[in-house]
Amino acid sequence: MLSESWKRKLINFTHSGVEQRFPLRTRLELPKTVLGRKLRLRKIMTDPFPWLTKIKGEVQRDELMMAHTSIRIGGPADFFILPKDVQDLQTIYRQRGETPVHALGEGTNLLVKDKGIRGIVISLKDSFRSIHPPTFKQSSAKKETATLRVGAGVKLSYLAKYAARYSLTGIENLVGIPGSLGGAVIMNAGAEGTEIGPFVRSVTRVTAMGEVEVLTAEEIKFSYRKSVFPSEGGIVVEAELELEKGDMEIIHKTMNSHLAQRSSKQPLTVPNSGSIFKNPPNDSAGRLIESAGLKGYSIGQAGVSIKHANFIVNKGDANAEDVLALIAHIQTVVEEKSGVKLEREIVVMGG
């Protein structure tokens, strides 16, 4: 039932020939200014979640994840957010209700399915990229160490080179790993017998409830390509690392030989997502796949790399279905031939 005042407004409106004189709707749909258009677009995009307008960072809708994974595969994420700061992250986690939230680093150990990801994907790759200058201390008569506070969005390769500038040793073997520090902490990334875990002193994260939490290294269980936190979910925003003072020349030499070795052994010029399988105890997944005769084997446009059998490469327009079928095929054939069941290392996201 309309009130008297509304009825009057409606009657006046009907008799006023507003279509010519009152083009408010048209103006709202097609704003004249760039800012107006941006605001309108933002409104359309954030309709299901009005709180998204509070986000200071960037919000994109139906963003194709293939643009954010190193293997160049992956359907759309409903919402893709590049937060600006911790407050943005807290807004997301506190307001999301039942909507799932996924964290993304550089997407270098990730396979996103073709139908994409329902819910919200947060990427820290445009923020959380600062490194606080090291704080040195004399740990013992002979040993000088330094702690470094590093944003989760910092690339591991950059971090290793940054540490080398201060003659800090420990993580030089990780210089060729293309992921972010956040991803490295989650995956306990490692190379040539070095893992990130033992250098981590604490990790700061925004929990699934939107609280800022600082965890000591003892509270996180690091194991081979895995870390277990006291509770699930949330997003790592920073970690504190402790490194020893070393010899700058030796550190640089190690990094250079490590990088050279990688480019000779890994298919770095073709889209891939790093090692597909974990190495079984005392063996290598690559060796097992190669001796099962699968080097070069392809399904669709996804193929086992000729250069390194533990890498699957995207030879053109491979999709996630091809990769998953190839993974299943490799597991079956390797188990038949060697009795070893290969365990997947890459993370599969989406549905």
Q: What whole-number distance in Å separates Cα of residue 324 and Cα of residue 112?
A: 10
Q: What whole-number distance in Å separates Cα of residue 310 and Cα of residue 199?
A: 27
Q: What whole-number distance in Å separates Cα of residue 70 and Cα of residue 323?
A: 14
Site for ligand FAD in 116-155 (CB under 6 A): 124, 152
Question: Which residue, among 112, 116, 105, has the nearest Cα to 155 in the 3D structure?
Answer: 105
Q: Does 207 bind ligand FAD (CB under 6 A)?
A: no
Whether 321 is catalytic: no
Site for ligand FAD in 262-301 (CB under 6 A): 266, 268, 272-274
Query: How would you classify residue 198: left for phi > 0, otherwise alpha for psi between -120 and 50, otherwise beta?
Result: alpha
The single residue of 127, 180, 275, 305 carrying the catalytic annotation is 275
The single residue of 180, 225, 227, 238 carrying the catalytic annotation is 225
Residue type, 12: N
Question: Which residue, among 89, 97, 151, 147, has the nearest Cα to 121 in the 3D structure?
Answer: 89
- The β-bridge relationship of strands 168-169 and 190-191 is unpaired
Measured from the CB atom, the residue of 57 and 182 that comes closer to ligand FAD is: 182
> 262 phi and psi, to 5 degrees?
-60, -45
Residue labelled with tokens 């999709």: 319
Q: Does 109 bind ligand FAD (CB under 6 A)?
A: yes
Q: Does 101 bind ligand FAD (CB under 6 A)?
A: no
List the x/- string, 171-200, binding to ligand FAD by CB under 6 A. ------xxxx-xxx-xx-xxx---------
Residue from 159, 163, 164, 235 in contact with ligand FAD (CB under 6 A): 235
Whether 262 is catalytic: no
Six-digit token string for 333:
């054939």
Q: How far is the CB of 321 from ligand FAD (least distance, A)?
A: 20
Question: Which residue, among 271, 257, 261, has the nearest Cα to 311 in the 3D structure?
Answer: 271
Contact stretch for ligand FAD (CB under 6 A) within 36-44, 106-114, 248-256, 325-333 = 106-114
Q: How far is the CB of 134 from ligand FAD (least distance, A)?
A: 22
List the x/- string, 56-75, binding to ligand FAD by CB under 6 A. --------------x-----
Size of the site for ligand FAD (CB under 6 A): 32
Residue type, 34: V
Q: How far is CA 115 from the centre of its chain?
A: 18
Cβ-count burial 228-238 (b if 16+ within 10 Å, e if not): ebeeeebbbbb
List the x/- string, 17-36, binding to ligand FAD by CB under 6 A. --------------------
Say which residues have a Cβ less than 8 Å from residue 265's Cβ, sequence separation at least 6: 307, 308
Q: Does 236 bind ligand FAD (CB under 6 A)?
A: yes
Q: How far is the CB of 97 from ligand FAD (least distance, A)?
A: 20
Contact yes or no for 115/72 (Cβ under 8 A): no
Residue from 92, 110, 168, 318 in contact with ligand FAD (CB under 6 A): 110
Q: What whole-number distance in Å separates Cα of residue 186 and Cα of residue 104?
A: 11
Q: How far is CA 276 from the centre of its chain?
A: 16
Residue from 107, 134, 197, 303 in contact with ligand FAD (CB under 6 A): 107
Measured from the CB atom, the residue of 104 and 251 that comes closer to ligand FAD is: 104
Measured from the CB atom, the residue of 107 and 134 that comes closer to ligand FAD is: 107
Q: Does 103 bind ligand FAD (CB under 6 A)?
A: yes
Whether 242 is catalytic: no
Q: Which residues carry out catalysis?
A: 225, 275, 345
Residues that bind ligand FAD (CB under 6 A): 70, 102-110, 124, 152, 177-180, 182-184, 186-187, 189-191, 235-236, 266, 268, 272-274, 347
